[in-house]
Structure 1
């Protein structure tokens, strides 16, 4: 009888030791796997939405081009810039009533929704392209062709 009880105690003690080892192992893994730094995603892709614009223009009249940056996620410090290049015709592009853009120069986009104004200066066809980019290297383009 004495032998039977000591065997039972020994088995119970071994099981308890195994449980303690397993718990200790889990605690060690939890401590090692945790990182003290919180990872914040800052780089979100976006789309450039442009409302329909007329296909023909009259020299001197302003064509309004409503644009919207549609973000897939939001990071408060994301900054967008715009540049353009006109490869046919003569005209000027600007943010609303601001100064005309110079080709291939970066300009700050003031908000997610903005309006570009294009003022043609000649009767021939007008073709230009705009690029909107963020500071993370994401970039979208749009091409305009006015007759």
Structure 2
């Protein structure tokens, strides 16, 4: 009788462990890797000129709740960055990215070398960065005439 009671207790414990280990919820992947692809971008620019940056957000998977934001920082030079819908970006402010294929327009506001860093971040905290560097054409012309 003690053997049967011990066996039943062991069987109930095993069944209980199996039932609690099962989960009816699906394991949904929400964070997929992504990166920003761009067409080649001009590297020479003069004050007042605008360079077009054609962008595609490439995602390794799709999650319906995924949201992406865009922001930029300019460590060198002065300029303005706009989205193809006309939105003028302020440095380090986040803007909702509503499409995967878009264009950015960078307008030079200085005669110096200019660099902009563009960051795309998803709502899972993953970030990708692209840097763009522009040389002032007049600066290069002056250097070649001095040679």
Compute the TM-score of the two structures, normalised by the length of structure 2: 0.75
CA-CA distance at 1:89 after TM superposition: 1.4
CA-CA distance at 1:33 after TM superposition: 4.0
Correspondence for 2:58: 70
Distance 1:104 1:33 in 2: 45
Residue pairs, 1:101-140, within 5 angstroms:
101-140=89-128
CA-CA distance at 1:75 after TM superposition: 0.4
Structure label with greater radius of gyration: 1
Distance 2:19 2:85 in 1: 58
2:72 counterpart SS class: strand
CA-CA distance at 1:77 after TM superposition: 1.5
1:65 counterpart SS class: strand
Distance 1:56 1:123 in 2: 11
* Aligned alpha-carbon RMSD (Å): 2.0
* Contact in 2 for aligned 1:97/1:117 (Cα 8 Å): no
* Contact in 2 for aligned 1:60/1:121 (Cα 8 Å): yes
Q: Which structure 2 residue ranges, 5 or more long, are not aligned?
A: 1-10, 136-147
Correspondence for 2:82: 94
2:44 counterpart SS class: coil
Higher normalized strand content (fraction of residues): 2
Distance 1:112 1:99 in 2: 16
Specify which of 26, 51, 59 is matched with residue 39 of structure 2. 51
Residue pairs, 1:10-29, within 5 angstroms:
28=15
Distance 1:67 1:128 in 2: 15
> Deviations 1:77-121 (Å, cap 9, x if unpaired)?
211101111121111001114132111110111211111110112
Per mean C-alpha deviation after superposition, the further-off stretch among 136-145 and 120-129 is 120-129
Correspondence for 2:67: 79
Compute the TM-score of the two structures, normalised by the length of structure 1: 0.75
CA-CA distance at 1:123 after TM superposition: 2.2
1:146 counterpart SS class: strand
